Structure 1
Amino acid sequence: MSDAIPAAAAEAPALRYTLWQMVKYMLGLGTWGFGGPVALVGYMYRDLVEKRGWISESDYKEGLTLAQLMPGPMAAQLAMYLGFVHFRVLGAALVGLAFVLPSFFMVVALGALYVTYGGLGWMQAVFYGVGAAVIGIIAMSAWKLTTKNIGRDKLLWAVFLVNAALTIVLQAEMVWLVIGAGILVWLLRAPPKQWLRGGTLHAAAAPIAAAFALGNADLHKLAQIATYFAYAGTFVFGSGLAIVPFLYGGVVKEYGWLTDRQFVDAVAVAMITPGPVVITTGFIGFLVQGFWGAVAAAAATFLPCYLLTILPAPYFRKHGKRPGLVAFIDGATAAAIGAIAGSVVVIGQRSVTDWVTALLALATAAILWRFKKVQEPVIVLAAALIGLAAYPLMHG
């Protein structure tokens, strides 16, 4: 403790910004930050490290590594970590809220429109096109994640393929398969001899995961929503899209809160709004239980992300590169990516219903493959316009 005080004192004069300046920046990024998690973390590096010099290169890299290792949405976790660097728990909380709130209010507004006008032909036509484009977007995301995280690793490929196949067969992602894959790779690659000694990071994270894994399904619907989405936010590894197959298994298959069509529309809404893709949970919560359902779902999704950022952060430099932890995350991430790939088939069966939607899905994937800088919201907007034109012809 005595060592921490001089370090903090030495650090304070070097600060070139206030907490409120950081909050204002994240509020702006959450409002206009299109392009998905990779683009968002890139914006943070460009603006906060290169242009403004608020965050050091080493602090940024440390935060990015932690965000990639822990479950939850990468961009939101990095934002929280950057708030934690100089302003600790309060900074992480305020910066995280600022980053998430703009897209939350956008999906609530879209949810209100959807509930009011969802039965109208024009909105059905929009989501007819957008739902097909989303399948192409998810397919390309799965491909990018596969090449980035799995590469030529045969063990991880085996985990990926098994989980993709099981997702297709079971029509949902099983969280215990993801955790089991992480344990399998850990045991094969880094037997727990030295990992079990002094595992401070794991001791901090495990009770949180256990707490959110348990929930009383007999509580009224808001509590049920909060429990389920906290569970989802705690155990989903990979990118923001990794939550899609997991949510499908819960909100459509297990609880029956949404129809297949509504679920695909919820994913589409997340694609056309800035900020983290995981904000789709707010839209789903709104459809299930109105505004407070949106609050419960979004808050429960991001709370584990927040806790799994601030609790390990002080210990991360010391323990973050332990072979056992890295091996577990590799296995869990490979399984999560396999589930994303499998969800392309599962969700595609509901969204690709004719030759127009099949062509839209394939064209979306091809465009994203060929033109790397095209952003998803542009494609989604084009797909909406195509849907408006094609839907009356196909369903007239």
Structure 2
Amino acid sequence: MVDRAKLADEQKAPLGAFVLYFLRLGALGFGGPIALAGRMESELVQERGWIQREDYLEGLAFAQLAPGPLAAQLAMYLGYVRAGVLGATGVAITFIAPSFLMVLAISVLYVRYDGLKWMQALFYGIGAAVIGIILRSTIKLGGVTLKRDPLLWAIFLVLAASTAYTGREIVWLFLLAGIVSLGVKTTSSRTGSVAIAIWPATLGLSEPASKHWALCLFFLKSSLFVFGSGLAIVPFLHGGVVDSHHWLNEHQFLDAIAVAMITPGPVVITVAFIGYLADGLTGAVLAGLGVFLPVYLMVVIVAPFYRRLSRNDGIKAFVSGVTAAATGAIAGAVYILARHSIKDVWTAAIACLAFIVLWRWKVPEPVIVAGSGIVGLLLYTSFGGR
């Protein structure tokens, strides 16, 4: 049997280079959590060998089971695998900071110039290209996680269908997938399943009087109640910031989602835009802390126990089932996103072209995103987005 710890030590990159990789991914990684997770697997596991495949798959399952956005959770977990708390901390800062600063700059311009009229035109092209980016990443991720295992493919198909049909990721199905995989792959009565899903105690807390802390508590709850893809946070945010607190109106909220899609890094960085519109710079910072601090604490506190448990054969079977479920949910999310982004023949063509270019040639995703944005501006101006 291969000694994973020894092999990892032999292939370790300098910590500085590892952290700089996530700085680059946070600054140039487009396509949302699905594409970002796919890039981590492709670049860190396949191309550079800095992370072992089993560690990556364990991290993907951890990120799917634990509350919080998937891409940020996975990135911090891989940082923990590389260098413990120091690695998780370095990755957390470098992965989140670039997109946070970009969104903050857009927020300032948005408020100063009373909305960004060009944003809708940009999103017309970029949103379609993102579908092609996500689809390509999903196919690559499926090849790594499912291989030729009929059980894992069955789990994948069930979760893909349920996610596409319901429009959300159902946590108990992930846990059930792990239990089914455990039951089929092992007959040991001494092995059991593990679930990291934690429902926060903050549910019963009343909103504080201060708007600052009301913002922070709301975004803390939003992080702890959302599992898997960062896009899953959208319905929760809408109900809170538009319907309950009235911090944003409907139009501003839609612009916030567009900002998340046209900027690199984790999709949930849109909370910085929402926080800024609601309460200025303080609101943006508190919103960011509220969403990402629980994710960081989950990794540094729970990951050590999870990594020890994951070496158990029964736990490996459980994790393989959850990972297949996660991949299926990601595939289902492609359908959900496509319904909103593919509006006509032009956007369908952009999505197909982005997929083909990425599949056949190693064109950097930022180049595809920038080109799609320009095409979107031209088409939207010429045809009114139709």
* TM-score clears 0.5: yes
Q: TM-score, normalised by structure 2?
A: 0.73
1:338 paired with 2:321, answer no
CA RMSD of aligned residues (A): 4.0
Sort the Cα spacing of 1:338 and 1:287 in 2 relative to 1 into closer, same or farther, 3 A: farther
Structure 1: which amino acid aligns with 2:184?
A: L
- Once the two structures are superposed, residues 338-394 of structure 1 have per-residue CA deviations (whole angstroms, 9 ceiling, x without a partner) of 2222222222222211211111111111211111x2222111100110011110122
Structure 1: which amino acid aligns with 2:134?
A: I
Correspondence for 1:139 among 119, 125, 135: 135
Please tell me whether the aligned partners of residues 63 and 82 of structure 1 are also in contact (alpha carbons under 8 angstroms).
no
**Matched residue pairs, number?**
349
Sort the Cα spacing of 1:142 and 1:90 in 2 relative to 1 into closer, same or farther, 3 A: closer
- Once the two structures are superposed, residues 173-192 of structure 1 have per-residue CA deviations (whole angstroms, 9 ceiling, x without a partner) of 22232233223322333356
Q: Which residue of 2 aligns with 1:363?
A: 353
- SS of alignment partner, residue 210 of structure 1: coil
Q: TM-score, normalised by structure 1?
A: 0.71
Sort the Cα spacing of 1:96 and 1:382 in 2 relative to 1 into closer, same or farther, 3 A: same
The CA deviation at 1:103 is 2.8
The CA deviation at 1:311 is 3.4
Q: Which residue of 2 aligns with 1:182?
A: 178
Structural mapping, 1:1-396, within 5 Å: 25=20, 29=24, 34=29, 36-37=36-37, 39=39, 64=56, 67-71=59-63, 72-73=70-71, 74-84=74-84, 89=85, 92-94=88-90, 96-114=92-110, 119-190=115-186, 193-196=189-192, 206=196, 209-212=197-200, 215-216=203-204, 219=207, 220-232=214-226, 235-236=227-228, 242-244=229-231, 246-252=232-238, 261-262=254-255, 265-269=258-262, 272-273=263-264, 275-276=265-266, 279=269, 282-283=272-273, 286=276, 291-311=281-301, 314=304, 318-371=308-361, 373-395=362-384
Distance 1:64 1:268 in 2: 25
Runs of 5+ in structure 2 lacking a partner?
Answer: 1-8, 31-35, 64-69, 208-213, 244-249
Please tell me whether the aligned partners of residues 233 and 268 of structure 2 are also in contact (alpha carbons under 8 angstroms).
no
The CA deviation at 1:230 is 2.7
The CA deviation at 1:286 is 4.9
Please tell me whether the aligned partners of residues 129 and 360 of structure 1 are also in contact (alpha carbons under 8 angstroms).
yes
Q: Which residue of 1 aligns with 2:67?
A: none
- SS of alignment partner, residue 70 of structure 1: helix
Please tell me whether the aligned partners of residues 57 and 323 of structure 2 are also in contact (alpha carbons under 8 angstroms).
no
The CA deviation at 1:124 is 1.8
Please tell me whether the aligned partners of residues 67 and 78 of structure 1 are also in contact (alpha carbons under 8 angstroms).
yes
Distance 1:367 1:81 in 2: 33
- Once the two structures are superposed, residues 155-178 of structure 1 have per-residue CA deviations (whole angstroms, 9 ceiling, x without a partner) of 222222222222222222222322
Please tell me whether the aligned partners of residues 164 and 341 of structure 1 are also in contact (alpha carbons under 8 angstroms).
yes
Distance 1:192 1:292 in 2: 53
